[in-house]
Chains A and B, each alone.
Chain A
Amino acid sequence: MTTLPIITLLTLTPILGALVLALGGHRGERPARNIALGFGLLALLETWLLVAGFDGKSAALQFVERHAWIPSLGVEYFVAVDGLSILLVLLSALLVPFAVAVSGGIGDRPRTFYALMLLLQAGLFGTFTALNFFHWFIFWELSLVPAYFLIKLWGGPARRTAATQFFIYTFVGSVAMLLAMQAVFLATGTFDLPKLAELARSGELARGLETKLHWTGLSASALGTVLFVGVFLGFAVKVPLMPFHTWLPATYAEAPSSVTMLLTGAMSKMGVYGFLRILAPIFPGQLRDLLGPLMALAVLTIVASAFAAFAQKDLKRMLAYSSINHLGLCLLGLFAAMQPTANTAGWQTEKVAALNGVLLQMFNHGLTAAALFGFVALLERRAGGLRGLDDFGGLRKVAPVFAGLMGISLFASLGLPGLNGFIGEFLIFKGAFPLAPYAAALSTLGLLLTAIFLLTLIQRVFAGPLNERWKTFPDLTRGELLVFAPAVALMFLLGVAPQLVVRLINPTVIEAVNRLGN
């Protein structure tokens, strides 16, 4: 018996769900949501099978499925997971049912809404498992399209602008990346990501650029830099890195909150994933050459976004900037791990720590930020669309459970030990501080500011005298508790036992550090 093509099945499950939703005749929102939830949980179950069958001790690609697709273009159907992929697949599988369960009040075309959510999940699964650039890119874009429609059709008042901005931004980035990768294909004749990484390591890529692309009139190194910048742009927009981020606050604020959960929880991870899977392995030299400015950008991202968050009055915008800040930390860790060092065990450990931290941070931020946006969604729904920092006050009195769980999530977000956010940040700094002391030291300012604005949020929304308007503000219902309690429990669990996740990623990270060299 050949092994079950579980990754393909996993990717197909949400697509099937979307089809069922699209074709089914159920009116009303509840059945649609239940179907979407059912398929989401099915995907989660499959992911669980994947995780259970995953050999945590091996850094190799597992569950490989490989079929020729368009041989003349070097296109294959090539999916597999390693520690990095499986973590993000798990995250996506967790978040989509979560977001689906949180969403509600979709008056307009609920079936389409949930079908698009599932399609988005398919895009995520595909992106995180594909190892051939060609179909990786297909999924990358596939995830963009449902997101666009979700924002545009169900978003807030300025949704059109936001959606267009989101689409154009990410699309420009994608186009730049696509062009660059085509040039790489011309030079190497393959789209296979692991193979490209190998070629880049052996210098074959540079030679290919020299011989095959000399007609551009650029030297191999200049061409390499240009290509690097192209690919970089694609990912930097997605993450986002600071000057390329302006789409994000508007998008997050305008998107329906459950969609924002996915945008921040899973889609922003696509950018970091791209950095880790494509940019760093294929363009290590270029990345190292530009490390200084990039590091500066990462620090700028961390600090400036935290400051900007502090200035926001809209909860969603505030949390959006907070997301930028957290992902900035990811990039800090990533860039730090690219720092050239002596090849000693000590430095290797720091790099491993930094990358482990990056991955943990991705997972934890995905969980926490999604939960926070979920809470904001509830807040918004209860308050009839209000979500300003000053619109509430004293809610803890009438909604203690709500306040408690959201408070825990906020503390998780600001990196309180014992909750999930801490370990990732600790590991990032553990790696980044020795590798790039000044950048790391400056970045701690971001941690402080995060604490300031998140606590301000608690203070303004939950503490203080009760705003008379919300005297009848309902606490979490049983159903909502059922949705959020597992998320919060997971935060505790991962905070106390990070080994659950580290187990999956550590070998992959060690391998990656070895491959990246010094």
Chain B
Amino acid sequence: MASLDQIFVTLKEQLVQLFPAVLQPYVGVLLSIVAIMAVFPGIFALTTVVERKLLARFQNRPGPNRVGIPLTKIRLAGFGQFAADGIKSLTKEDIIPRNADRKVHFIAPFVLVVPAFLALSVLPIGRNMTALDFPETGLLFFFAIGAATELSVFMAGWSSRNKYSLLGAMRGIAQMLSYEIPLILSSLTVVMMVGSLSLVTIVERQTSVQWGFFHSWHVFTPWGFAGFLLFLTAACAEANRTPFDLPEAESELVAGYFTEYSGFKFALFFLGEYLGMFAISGVAISLFLGGWSAPFTFLDWVPSWLWFFGKLFAFILFFIWLRGTLPRLRVDQLMNLAWKFMLPMCLLNLLVVGVWHFTAEWNELLRWSLATVLLAGPYWLFSRSFEARFKPRTYRYAADSPAAPVVAPVAPQVPI
């Protein structure tokens, strides 16, 4: 089994051996890059089809089911669609608006995609399988690279000289900036507990066995659970997925910041978005869901990379599910959620981690209930916005509460 687990590692080592010693480190890196650049776009291709099909199922329609292997009768249940889409976007005309800032307009998709690949490369996708291992600062690198997304969004939106693009970009940046804070804060809990910024270390720490058959994933602690939920929410927003898809809200902004993109550059944006989603899902998996480790010890024989990709795929399905289910938020709701709910909860979660750390020798049950109470109480308090607690709820268009005194029968009113 170990051989199957380490099959890619061994393969890479053997390949590297074929080259002269001077080149070996470079070749190693190159091989890793190639692998990543092959695997994740592949998953991307798969995801596009899956998403279309799943959404279609949600909406009671068949979805793509025609395209199979060309020139044959094999339909593959429509899974050839990605190839058709890809070919279509590559062959379309690349339109650049006349007023656009051409240079910036050109660079923007690359600023999105390249960092996305870089971010993917730090993920431990299996045991000993990390393309770019920063033993000190892996997570920090990830977040630093993530910053480029915002830049790209801005560049795309601004350079298009289109009001939808600019509005989309502004919304997107505001959203990403706002949610980056809870994102980082919620992952800080894990960093605090593990004491390392390296994703590899973090994952390895979660492979220890608890209660005989469990791997001690962080999600199985009160703070980890809360942190995971917060991280997931923030990740949704970072990836511009529903219900946080305001920057590219089709019904409002056409396609947001990449309204003016077409053809290959559009495909790059598309790719970049999905890669970003994969990356952030991968980080969520590494931080909270034990990375490549199996949930139970008796499942350890399954290769680690399979676990990682399985979890990743579960995440993808989850995101699609969300997209098919939830309505989009309003901008003020979006901001309220980030600043008035998630930020306090994240800070509180940091406190709880501190408490957890210092109560290590306590009775387990007591520790659990203390942490749970500390989290659940404020959750209950924050869960409806503060103002609703202090002010009677007002309805802008509906009539006042039925208890309102009726002075006298009055003539029909023009509603305000």
Is the A/B pair a real complex?
A: yes
Q: CB-CB contacts of A1-23 with B at 8 A, as 1s and 0s? A: 11010000000000000000001
Are the CB atoms of A24 and B389 closer together than 8 Å? yes
Task: Name the contact of A25 in the complex, choosing from B361, B362, B363, B390 (C-beta under 8 A).
Answer: B390
Residue of A nearest to B378 (CB): A23
With an 8 A cutoff between CB atoms, is B408 at the interface?
no
Are the CB atoms of B363 and A1 closer together than 8 Å? yes
CA distance A331 to B118 in the complex (A): 80
Task: Name the contact of B389 in the complex, choosing from A1, A2, A25 (C-beta under 8 A).
Answer: A25
User: B361: which A residues are within 8 A, CB to CB?
Assistant: 1-2
User: A24: which B residues are within 8 A, CB to CB?
Assistant: 381, 389
CA distance A2 to B362 in the complex (A): 6
CB distance from B11 to the nearest CB of A (A): 50
User: A27: which B residues are within 8 A, CB to CB?
Assistant: 392
With an 8 A cutoff between CB atoms, is B366 at the interface?
yes
The residue in A4, A23, A25, A27 that gathers the most chain B C-beta atoms within 10 A of its C-beta is A25
Q: Which residues of B contact A (CB under 8 A)?
A: 361-363, 366, 381, 388-390, 392
Are the CB atoms of B381 and A4 closer together than 8 Å? no
CA distance A223 to B335 in the complex (A): 65
Chain A to chain B contacts (Cβ below 8 Å), 6 pairs = A1-B362, A1-B366, A2-B362, A4-B366, A24-B381, A27-B392
User: B392: which A residues are within 8 A, CB to CB?
Assistant: 27
CB distance from B382 to the nearest CB of A (A): 10
Chain A interface bracket (under 10, 10 to 19, 20 to 34, 35 or more): under 10
User: A1: which B residues are within 8 A, CB to CB?
Assistant: 361-363, 366
Are the CB atoms of B362 and A23 closer together than 8 Å? no
Residue of A nearest to B384 (CB): A25
Task: Name the contact of A23 in the complex, choosing from B363, B366, B381, B388 (C-beta under 8 A).
Answer: B381
CA distance A24 to B363 in the complex (A): 31
Chain A interface main SS type: loop
User: B363: which A residues are within 8 A, CB to CB?
Assistant: 1
CA distance A27 to B363 in the complex (A): 39
CB distance from B364 to the nearest CB of A (A): 9
Number of residue pairs spanning A and B whose beta carbons lie under 8 angstroms apart: 15
User: A2: which B residues are within 8 A, CB to CB?
Assistant: 361-362
CA distance A179 to B389 in the complex (A): 45
CA distance A504 to B105 in the complex (A): 82
CA distance A2 to B370 in the complex (A): 15
CB distance from A19 to the nearest CB of B (A): 9
User: B381: which A residues are within 8 A, CB to CB?
Assistant: 23-24
CB distance from A24 to the nearest CB of B (A): 7
Residue of A nearest to B367 (CB): A1
Given contacts A1-B362, A23-B381, 13 further A-B contacts (CB under 8 A): A1-B361, A1-B363, A1-B366, A2-B361, A2-B362, A4-B366, A23-B389, A24-B381, A24-B389, A25-B388, A25-B389, A25-B390, A27-B392
Residue of A nearest to B366 (CB): A4
User: A4: which B residues are within 8 A, CB to CB?
Assistant: 366
CB distance from B391 to the nearest CB of A (A): 8
CB distance from A110 to the nearest CB of B (A): 15
CA distance A24 to B383 in the complex (A): 12
CB distance from B399 to the nearest CB of A (A): 20
Residue of B nearest to A16 (CB): B377
CB distance from A450 to the nearest CB of B (A): 47
CB distance from B373 to the nearest CB of A (A): 9
CB distance from A1 to the nearest CB of B (A): 4
Within 239-265 of A, Cβ neighbours of B (below 8 Å) are at none
User: A25: which B residues are within 8 A, CB to CB?
Assistant: 388-390
Residue of B nearest to A4 (CB): B366
Residue of A nearest to B361 (CB): A2
CA distance A23 to B386 in the complex (A): 9
CB distance from A146 to the nearest CB of B (A): 22
CB distance from A154 to the nearest CB of B (A): 21
CA distance A23 to B362 in the complex (A): 30
CB distance from A509 to the nearest CB of B (A): 34
User: B362: which A residues are within 8 A, CB to CB?
Assistant: 1-2
CB distance from A323 to the nearest CB of B (A): 38
Q: Which 6 A-B pairs have the closest CB atoms?
A: A25-B389, A1-B363, A25-B390, A23-B381, A1-B362, A24-B389
CA distance A499 to B86 in the complex (A): 89
Residue of B nearest to A23 (CB): B381
CA distance A1 to B362 in the complex (A): 5
User: A23: which B residues are within 8 A, CB to CB?
Assistant: 381, 389
CB distance from A23 to the nearest CB of B (A): 6
CA distance A23 to B382 in the complex (A): 10
CA distance A24 to B384 in the complex (A): 11
CA distance A372 to B362 in the complex (A): 45
CB distance from A141 to the nearest CB of B (A): 28
Within 415-447 of A, Cβ neighbours of B (below 8 Å) are at none
CB distance from A261 to the nearest CB of B (A): 29
User: B390: which A residues are within 8 A, CB to CB?
Assistant: 25
User: B366: which A residues are within 8 A, CB to CB?
Assistant: 1, 4
CB distance from A16 to the nearest CB of B (A): 8
CA distance A147 to B388 in the complex (A): 30
Within 10-64 of A, Cβ neighbours of B (below 8 Å) are at 23-25, 27
CB distance from A270 to the nearest CB of B (A): 30
Residue of A nearest to B387 (CB): A25
CB distance from B189 to the nearest CB of A (A): 24
Within 85-121 of A, Cβ neighbours of B (below 8 Å) are at none
Q: CB-CB contacts of A209-244 with B at 8 A, as 1s and 0s? A: 000000000000000000000000000000000000
CA distance A2 to B361 in the complex (A): 8
CA distance A25 to B387 in the complex (A): 9
CB distance from A74 to the nearest CB of B (A): 25
CA distance A27 to B390 in the complex (A): 9
CB distance from B376 to the nearest CB of A (A): 13
